[in-house]
Amino acid sequence: MPDSVTWTESVDDLLAASPDIVVEVVGGVDPARDWVTRALEQGASVVTANKMLLAAHGPELLQLAARRSAQLRFEAAVGGGVPLIHGVREGLAGDVLTGVAGILNGTCNYILSRMSDTDEAMELVLGDAQRLGYAEADPTADVDGFDAAAKLVVLAGIAFRRHLHLGDVPRRSIRPLTSADFRYARRLGCTIRQVSQVHGTDDGFHAFVGPVLVPHHSAFGRNEGANNVVSIYGRYGGESSFSGAGAGGPATAVAVVSDLLALTQQRLRHATESWRPGTIVAPPARAYYLRFVVHDRPGILAHIAAALARQGVNLDAVLQEPGYPKDRLPFVITVEPCEESALDAALEAIRAAEWNAEAPLALPMLL
């Protein structure tokens, strides 16, 4: 860097210089919210990679940017180097978008695609992901879905101009998954991926983040390693897909610098954007994969079938692999499309049975 560049650890010094653009790559809500707000207040445009900040305070920051004739750009907040936000905001502006679904967390995709290939245990693969730099020392945000949910809120804002409350987005962790789940998924012609999805309805939006069964041959099933893949659904244009490196410094840097270059195009200086409040509603009926681990005894299957029948949930298939010990016997039931509330009620009754060695696991099936 030339000698004319001033280095400082004080945000006050930074803002006192009246910058045209402030780049924020600190992460987290605080102190980033204060810094971004102050920069926008004085008319500086902001480039950020901070999905947590946008998920929590995106609407107010966009309104502030509009009032100050500044820009808030955040391509790096979702998808790393994949130009998702630009593609949706500008490339699909002529369509009426109806839904977004994708693999938004590279860490989880690395873990699950490797477990699918090798049948290794979650703990082993997660440890390797941490050593390789894909996962943080505390992987909670990744494996429990917080990171993907924040990105989904940002994507919903871009696609629908609506702000979904982060805490209302249903999340399920990948932690309960075992090698047995991948073996059973293969028997069904599927694999397992952490998928994030939001779809518009007349009443609001149904959203979900968590592990699901996807066909092996699908775009999600073929996605390997730390890559992201996202499908955008439009009323007229149908499905448009984006894929590429979703994590890592170089990919994120590409998105940040691309936003900086976009700000040099003067026509963007006057563009404004706002996100109105959105409501999350119950998802439509869908098929589910149910995995049980039990202390084997007669009558278990009949008990489960009866509990499901009481809630109007119809069985589709029963799968049981040989070779597992009887005191921790895993088996799988798939059910026909049903309401999530009905399935939850049935599983609550099943969970109370003393023959459970583990809590039942329910995964949506995207077939």
**Residues listed for the chain:** 367
Cα distances (Å, whole numbers) of residue 292 to 178, 296, 316, 333: 12, 11, 15, 8
The SS3 assignment for 125 reads helix
Active-site residue among 57, 151, 162, 171?
151
One-letter amino acid identity for 48? Answer: T
Residue with tokens 């699950």: 112
CA distance 270 to 292: 56
Tell me how far apart the 2 most distant CA atoms of the chain are, in Å: 79
DSSP tag of 168: G
Decide if 51 is catalytic.
Answer: no
Contact, 228 vs 109, CB < 8 A? yes
Phi/psi region, residue 128 (left: phi>0; alpha: psi -120 to 50; beta: rest), is alpha
Alpha-helical segments (H) within 140-280: 140-143, 146-160, 179-187, 219-222, 249-262
Contact, 24 vs 35, CB < 8 A? yes
Indicate which residues carry an active-site annotation.
151
